[in-house]
Structure 1
């Protein structure tokens, strides 16, 4: 009976660790909890769904281009900000609302420079003049959006 409880405790510990493993990284990325899901079409009420894991596709098994650059730069925002991870012509800082790349994680004085995020830094998006927002490029739509990004509602 005691072995059963020990195994249950170990299993719970592992799953809690997996679920809570990525949120600390979000503290090193500006507006990390406000990035709109690139695969979610907004409703008439303006409802937006936010991405939970910026550096991963929905199944958490693979990193998207932003996640790969985050890993290579070891989360250094000064370097990561000027990179264009998804090669859509907009640098990561611009897509995440830090146009001047001045944001610092523990410096509230730099938070005033943040703007609303324009898009997802790991998914190539283009501006659609009809809808007035950034959307996933059509040739990537099925590949990217079929992965079901984890989201925060």
Structure 2
């Protein structure tokens, strides 16, 4: 019985990630600034797991009602000098759910790029805090 509960909980958590990633441009292709591959849990400090430890983009995305808005697109959530839209391939902030973004994701909107640099006075990072601005 415990095994079934763990299985159902794991499936439910896994299914949450694609839902939110579908609501941002290139959400399934956000590069991992700490290594290779993609960052699956885009709004969290842990690249693979949905945790309660949201990164700055995750907090901003939640504040925007978990929707891609022009204001969220124009914001630089991680303070690295590039807007969320630029990092996610929507530099003109025109992307809508289901449409193809105008470009590819070139950075992570919630993790300072390159890793080890911050331009604002807050912590940012992967697997914890990787820099202080």
TM-score class, shorter-chain normalisation, is 0.7 to 0.9
Which residue of structure 1 aligns with residue 31 of structure 2? 36
Which residue of structure 2 aligns with residue 87 of structure 1? 79
Which residue of structure 1 aligns with residue 121 of structure 2? none
Asked if structure 1 preserves the Cα contact closer than 8 Å seen for 2:26 and 2:105, the reply is yes
- Runs of 5+ unmatched residues, structure 2: 119-123, 129-133
Q: CA RMSD in A?
A: 2.0
| Bigger fraction of residues in helix | 1
TM-score, normalising length: structure 2? 0.78
Aligned length: 119
TM-score, normalising length: structure 1? 0.69
| Bigger fraction of residues in strand | 1
Which protein shows a greater Rg? 1
CA deviation digits over 1:2-47, x for unaligned, max 9? xxxx44323321221122222210110001111111011xxxxxxx
Q: CA deviation at 1:100?
A: 0.4
| Residue of structure 2 aligned with 1:100, choices 84, 92, 95 | 92
- Runs of 5+ unmatched residues, structure 1: 1-5, 41-47, 126-134, 148-153
